[in-house]
Amino acid sequence: MPPITPQDGTPGEVAGGVDTHLDTHTAAVIDPVGRVLGTEQFPATAAGYAALLEWMRRFGRLVRVGVEGTGVYGAGLARLLRDRDVEVIEVDRPDRKARRFQGKSDPIDAIAAAKSALAGERTGVPKQRDGRIEALRNLRVARRSAIDQRADAQRQIKALIVTAPDILRERLRGLPVRELITTCANLRPDRADAAAVATAAKIALRSLARRHQRLSDEIGDLDELLEPLVAMINPDLVAAHGVGTDVAGQLLVTAGHNHARLRSEAAFAMLCGAAPIPASSGRTTRHRLNRGGDRHANAALYRVVLCRLRWDPRTRAYMQRRTKEGMSKKEIIRCLKRYIARELYQIITAPSDLEPAA
Question: In this structure, are 228 and 246 located in the same domain?
Answer: no
Domain termination residue (choose one: 208, 233, 258): 233
| pLDDT at 60 exceeding the cut of 80 | yes
d(CA 95, CA 98): 6
In this predicted model, what pLDDT tens digit does every residue of 132-191 receive, in sequence order? 999 999 999 999 999 999 999 999 999 999 999 999 999 999 899 999 999 999 999 888
CA angle at residue 338 from 335 to 339, to 5 degrees?
90
- Residue 7 within a domain: no
User: Among 342, 316, 143, which residue's Cα sits nearest to residue 240?
Assistant: 342
List Cα–Cα distances, 192 to 12, 49, 161, 188, in angstroms.
79, 58, 22, 12
Domain termination residue (choose one: 211, 233, 255): 233
| pLDDT at 328 exceeding the cut of 70 | yes
Task: Give the pLDDT confidence score for residue 235 in this predicted structure.
Answer: 94
Mean of pLDDT over the chain: 88
Residues for the chain: how many in total?
Answer: 358
Percent helix, percent strand, percent coil in the chain, to nearest 5: 60, 10, 30
Task: Give the pLDDT confidence score for residue 126 in this predicted structure.
Answer: 82
User: Among 31, 25, 38, which residue's Cα sits nearest to residue 13?
Assistant: 31
Alpha helix (H) residue ranges in 256-328 = 265-271, 295-311, 313-324
- Residue 3 within a domain: no
Question: In this structure, are 99 and 27 located in the same domain?
Answer: yes
Question: In this structure, are 249 and 214 located in the same domain?
Answer: no
Task: Give the pLDDT confidence score for residue 354 in this predicted structure.
Answer: 42
Domain termination residue (choose one: 192, 208, 233): 233
Which letter, b or e, does each residue of 307-341 get, where b requires 16 or more Cβ atoms within 10 Å of its Cβ? bbbeebeebeebbeebeeeeeeeeebbbbbbbbbb
Question: In this structure, are 185 and 110 located in the same domain?
Answer: no
Question: In this structure, are 287 and 343 located in the same domain?
Answer: yes
d(CA 289, CA 298): 12
- Residue 125 within a domain: no
| Alpha-carbon 138 to chain mean position | 11
Q: How confident is the model at residue 10 (pLDDT cuts 50, 70, 90)?
A: very low
Question: In this structure, are 272 and 344 located in the same domain?
Answer: yes
**Cβ-contact 75, 49 below 8 angstroms:** no
In this predicted model, what pLDDT tens digit does every residue of 102-135 receive, in sequence order? 678 899 999 989 998 888 766 678 888 888 999 9
| pLDDT at 100 exceeding the cut of 70 | no
- Residue 87 within a domain: yes
Q: Domain limits at 341?
A: 237-353
DSSP type of residue 310: H
**Cβ-contact 18, 113 below 8 angstroms:** yes
Q: How confident is the model at residue 92 (pLDDT cuts 50, 70, 90)?
A: confident
Number of structural domains, the chain? 3
At position 341, the amino acid (one-letter code) is A
- Residue 212 within a domain: yes
Task: Give the pLDDT confidence score for residue 97 in this predicted structure.
Answer: 65
Please, what is the end-to-end C-alpha distance for the chain in angstroms? 36
d(CA 301, CA 272): 8
Question: In this structure, are 98 and 149 located in the same domain?
Answer: no
Task: Give the pLDDT confidence score for residue 276 in this predicted structure.
Answer: 83
- What residues form DSSP beta bridges with 18? 27, 67
- Residue 8 within a domain: no
